[in-house]
């Protein structure tokens, strides 16, 4: 159907009934805007949500600029997808996700229940491990095997044994090299 005012396709249709008489208007988006009939353009749900998040509280405005040191995720990115980037995000965004968790978990704010048996579970320790692992990956990628071996030893000394093994690619090679060197 053509627009009542121009040759464009009509996308906005208005029907009003006045004194028992039906009045129809068929307009393209441009003409509809001129007549004050249509909103500017289609706005995606995501855009609306982002707008909402950006504009709600001032603390949240700051929040969108908060970045996780562990993985580089920023808070807006999390709000967009609903998934966090790494364990450190929980400390990086602690202030922001606190209220969100409370709503999602019927007022629950702190963990009760099972805890891991091993001595682990200290947040600082796990963050340090994550940092060592990042450096280890970089060292392996750059073929700095001695540095990689040192990093691996450092992880070991923290009681982190989980990836000791033979078939773990570059990390394993780094370890084998360090043993050869010894």
Partner 1 sequence: MTSPTEGPGDIGAEWLRTAGPDSDVVMSSRVRLARNLAGFPFLPKASREDRRQILDIARRNVLDAALAKQVMWVDLADSPTLERQVLVERHLISRQHAKGDEPRAVAVSSPDERLAIMVNEEDHMRIQVMRSGLALSEAFDHIDSVDDSIESRLEYAFSPRFGFLTACPTNVGTGIRVSVMLHLPGLKLAGEIDKVRRAAKGMSLAVRGFYGEGSDAVGDIYQISNQTTLGRTERQVLDDFERQIIPKVIEYERHARRTLIQMRRTLVEDRTHRALGALRSARLLAADEALQLLSLVRLGLMLNLFSSDGPELADVSRLMLLTQPAHLQKAIGRTLDQAQRRIARADLVRAEIDRGRR
Residues making contact with partner 1 (CB under 8 A): 70-73, 81-87, 89-91, 97, 100-101, 104-118, 120-123, 126, 129-130, 132-133, 137, 155, 160, 162-163, 165, 167-169, 171
Q: Which is nearer to partner 1, 126 or 178 (CB)?
A: 126
Name the minimum Å distance from CB 4 to partner 1: 42
User: What residues are paired with 24 via a beta bridge?
Assistant: 15
Residue pair 66/56 in contact by the 8 Å Cβ criterion: no
Q: Which is nearer to partner 1, 14 or 108 (CB)?
A: 108
Name the minimum Å distance from CB 57 to partner 1: 19
Q: How far apart are CA 175 and CA 138, in angstroms?
A: 15
Q: Which is nearer to partner 1, 32 or 70 (CB)?
A: 70
Name the minimum Å distance from CB 16 to partner 1: 37
Name the minimum Å distance from CB 12 to partner 1: 33
Sign of CA dihedral 80, 82, 85, 90: positive
Question: Any residues with CB less than 8 A from the CB of 73 and at least 6 apart, and which?
Answer: 67, 84, 85, 86, 89
Q: How far apart are CA 40 and CA 33, in angstroms?
A: 7
């Amino acid at each position: 159907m053509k627009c009542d005012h121009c040759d464009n396709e009509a996308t906005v249709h208005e029907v009003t009934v006045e004194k028992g008489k039906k009045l129809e208007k068929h307009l393209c988006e441009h003409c509809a805007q001129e007549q004050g009939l249509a909103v500017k353009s289609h706005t995606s749900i995501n855009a609306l949500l982002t707008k909402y998040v950006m504009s709600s509280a001032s603390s949240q405005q700051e929040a969108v600029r908060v970045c996780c040191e562990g993985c580089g995720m920023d808070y807006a990115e999390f709000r967009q997808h609903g998934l966090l980037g790494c364990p450190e995000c929980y400390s990086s965004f602690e202030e922001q996700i606190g209220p969100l968790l409370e709503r999602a978990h019927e007022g629950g704010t702190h963990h009760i229940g099972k805890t891991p048996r091993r001595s682990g579970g200290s947040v600082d320790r796990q963050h340090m491990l994550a940092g060592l692992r990042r450096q280890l990956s970089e060292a392996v990628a750059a073929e700095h095997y001695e540095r990689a071996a040192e990093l691996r030893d450092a992880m070991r000394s923290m009681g982190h044994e989980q990836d000791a093994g033979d078939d773990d690619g570059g990390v394993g090679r780094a370890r084998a090299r360090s043993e050869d060197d010894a």
